[in-house]
Structure 1
Amino acid sequence: MMKKVFASILVVAMSLSLVACGSGSSSGSSAPAAPAASAASSAASSAPAAPTGSTEKFTLKLAHPNPDTHVFHKASEVFKQEVEALTNGNVTVDIYPNNQLGDSKEIIQSVSMGAVELNISSSAQFSVFNDEINVLDLPFLFPTRDDAYARLDGDAGARLGAGLEDNNVHLLGYLDGGYRCMFNSKRPLETPADFQGLAVRVQDSEVYFGMMNSLGAIPSFLPWGDLYVSIQQGVVDAGESGLAQIAAQRFYEVAPYISLTNHTFTANMFVMNKAKWESMPADYQAAIEAATEKMIAFEREQMVVAEQNALTTLKDNGATISEVNAADFQAAVAPVWDDFAAKFGQELVDLFSK
């Protein structure tokens, strides 16, 4: 996406030139270390792209599943500000946080149908359109954030995005959803054996089901918005997500045992309805891509900070924080990798891990 965006910014600048001529004028937790400065960060700090020359009007709805205190919402606000500034207010973005327009499974269908133009959801949600995306859920796939960003921003990530196009979904980029950790209402989870018999809500992904089965847990799928009450009522015992989301949605109130497993890195896909994308002038597309670049750079930096702050929040609210030996868990879930490679091919696995 990086090369494409830089090229797109050039398109914006050329468009402005033509118009002017025509007018005569980790942290304290055991989470993996923060990434080194990236090209995305450098782009965000460089001079802003020039405004566009088109005058058509568009209003875009951007939906995401998190509360307005979450870094995804703040990143969405960055995107909104940039798009509206670069298009002279001709493209406006309305943000709908906290599943206001439906849960993630409903929203990605709405994006496909064109009822919602923009969405941020975890990659697992999009496997309904392209089951190769499940590769991103393989446990312990990305040892560091730099590893994740290099794959997602390169040819490997582009391949998964291309698989969405036939379903009228256009990938704009990947956000950092953080390393996923366990939270539960029963006991500290420090070894694979501690998972035995634990009822765990997971994402609707065969990889997550396989992971929990290999640990002896009992996985099931529930809508994310139902999880807090489901734990409170004893329907399930546990869930798993990034620390920032665990803290933002106050899961420590009903599931005070937090285990820093960091079992998967969550790649959140930022997508747009393809038909709407293709209907927009080239300079608006360039503005959206430039805004996406700035949004991603901001979000990735802020997610590292958010995880650090979340760990403090969890501790301050009495949560029990457990460290784990990652090697023990990697050995326990190794069959998940074998099963995935048997179904989708070793080449896909190697594309993201070698």
Structure 2
Amino acid sequence: MLRTLMISGAVSALMTGGALAQDVTLRLAHFAAETHPGHIAAQSFAEAVAERTDGAIAVELYPANQLGSPPEQLEQTILGAIEMNLPTQGGLDKYEKAFGTVMTPFAFSSYEEAHQVLDGPFSDWAGPKLEDQGLVLLSNWEYGFRNITNSKHPINTPEDVAGLKLRTPPELQIVAALEGLGASTTQIAFPELPNALNQGVVDGQENPIGVIYHYKLNDFQENLALTRHVYNSMVHVINKDVFDGLTEAQQTILREESVRAGQMMRELVIAQEEKEIAALEEAGMQVTRPNLAPFAALMGPARDRVAEYSGRENMDTFLSFLD
């Protein structure tokens, strides 16, 4: 009942039977910086939707956590106070545990493998589960493989991670991976991270290359290790009541343009990663590319923690997709 009461003006502009009574504005909130490929893709999505619907659907963008922290934005999308959101699987798994399996440490060996699994069997299996939470999965976008930075020393082996105090988001999979390598972890809200790094509250943090680069975390960190310990992506979701109120043609347009924008983001992230790493090195950051096999070999306990959190049956299903 609460979710119905919270539905925004987008639904009030819809008539029964899915026919539009007037033009609709859909707000899309996300956490990426305005220079990040995530926001560039969101802009492209908004422009294409407006063009293909002849202006009947306008998409307003709110990047960089303008409408609240990532958990707050997702909750508001479920309630209908925000129409669309781009959470990661780590946000979605608070509502549907199947999504927690994606961030199993060292699950994917490449972007290609991750995309093939997420776009195929994983979405077919987990996507419908989100509808029970009031969300429709439009498509998978990108975020990237996560890597460790720190201000103490270069990381070449798992032993170099041991003893570091690292900031993580409040996502068990990432915590489990880093603690499995011997680090201690603490959760700090991302907007507070630069100050925490600057003041030495933590030794380091972990994020995809694009985040490290676009938020200039190298201003506070001397060392970057390409550990690629967890993969996750933005997932484009829309409030189910809002989506159900659109015409079938409009729903198709949203799905198609979401997929196109997500593919655009993937291409941008992958193309820019090596350039961003080079730019970080040029700015003075020491970058190491450790052999990841010894890191992955220590992940047994971490994977057990993820399986317990996500559900053993969910984990078995996810692992079958990898096979």
- Amino acid aligned to 2:281: K
2:243 counterpart residue number: 277
- Amino acid aligned to 1:351: S
- Amino acid aligned to 2:320: L
Q: SS in structure 2 opposite 1:99?
A: coil
State how far apart, in whole Å, the 2-side matches of 1:94 and 1:284 are.
Answer: 17
Larger displacement relative to structure 2 (100-109 or 339-348): 339-348
State how far apart, in whole Å, the 2-side matches of 1:279 and 1:167 are.
Answer: 17
1:92 counterpart residue number: 58
1:344 counterpart residue number: 312
Q: How does 1:291-330 map to 2 (within 5 A)?
A: 291-330=257-296
Q: How does 1:231-270 map to 2 (within 5 A)?
A: 231-270=197-236
2:171 counterpart residue number: 205
Could you tell me whether the CA contact under 8 Å between 1:54 and 1:284 is conserved in 2? Answer: no
Task: Write the deviation string for residues 119-165 of structure 1: whole angstroms up to 9, x where unpaired.
Answer: 11221011110122111111111111111111111121232222221
Q: SS in structure 2 opposite 1:164?
A: helix
Matched, 1:111 2:77: yes
Q: How does 1:145-184 map to 2 (within 5 A)?
A: 145-184=111-150
State how far apart, in whole Å, the 2-side matches of 1:54 and 1:247 are.
Answer: 42
- Amino acid aligned to 1:350: L
1:353 counterpart residue number: 322
Matched, 1:65 2:31: yes
Matched, 1:132 2:98: yes
1:223 counterpart residue number: 189
State how far apart, in whole Å, the 2-side matches of 1:293 and 1:338 are.
Answer: 33
Could you tell me whether the CA contact under 8 Å between 1:209 and 1:219 is conserved in 2? Answer: yes
Q: Any stretches of 5+ residues in structure 1 without a counterpart?
A: 1-52
Task: Write the deviation string for residues 15-54 of structure 1: whole angstroms up to 9, x where unpaired.
Answer: xxxxxxxxxxxxxxxxxxxxxxxxxxxxxxxxxxxxxx96
Q: Any stretches of 5+ residues in structure 2 without a counterpart?
A: 1-18
Deviation at 1:293, TM superposition (A): 1.9
**Count of matched residue positions in the alignment of Structure 1 and Structure 2:** 302
Matched, 1:289 2:255: yes
Could you tell me whether the CA contact under 8 Å between 1:136 and 1:267 is conserved in 2? Answer: no
RMSD of aligned residue pairs (Cα, Å): 1.6
- Amino acid aligned to 1:284: Q
Q: SS in structure 1 opposite 2:66?
A: coil
Q: SS in structure 2 opposite 1:258?
A: strand
2:4 counterpart residue number: none
Give the structure-1-normalised TM-score.
Answer: 0.82
2:7 counterpart residue number: none
1:37 counterpart residue number: none
Deviation at 1:103, TM superposition (A): 1.2
Matched, 1:214 2:183: no
Could you tell me whether the CA contact under 8 Å between 2:174 and 2:230 is conserved in 1? Answer: no
State how far apart, in whole Å, the 2-side matches of 1:265 and 1:172 are.
Answer: 20
Over 3 Å counting, the alpha-carbon distance change for 1:166 and 1:333 in structure 2 is same
1:11 counterpart residue number: none
State how far apart, in whole Å, the 1-side matches of 2:214 and 2:27 are.
Answer: 23
Percent identical among aligned pairs is 27
- Amino acid aligned to 2:35: T
State how far apart, in whole Å, the 2-side matches of 1:111 and 1:166 are.
Answer: 14
Could you tell me whether the CA contact under 8 Å between 2:172 and 2:306 is conserved in 1? Answer: no
Task: Write the deviation string for residues 184-223 of structure 1: whole angstroms up to 9, x where unpaired.
Answer: 1221111111112211112222222211211111112222
Could you tell me whether the CA contact under 8 Å between 1:54 and 1:283 is conserved in 2? Answer: no
Q: SS in structure 1 opposite 2:59?
A: strand
Which 4+ stretches in 1 moved above 4 angstroms? none
Could you tell me whether the CA contact under 8 Å between 1:341 and 1:349 is conserved in 2? Answer: no
Give the structure-2-normalised TM-score.
Answer: 0.89
State how far apart, in whole Å, the 1-side matches of 2:279 and 2:172 are.
Answer: 32
Task: Write the deviation string for residues 49-105 of structure 1: whole angstroms up to 9, x where unpaired.
Answer: xxxx96741101111111111000110011001100110011001111111111101
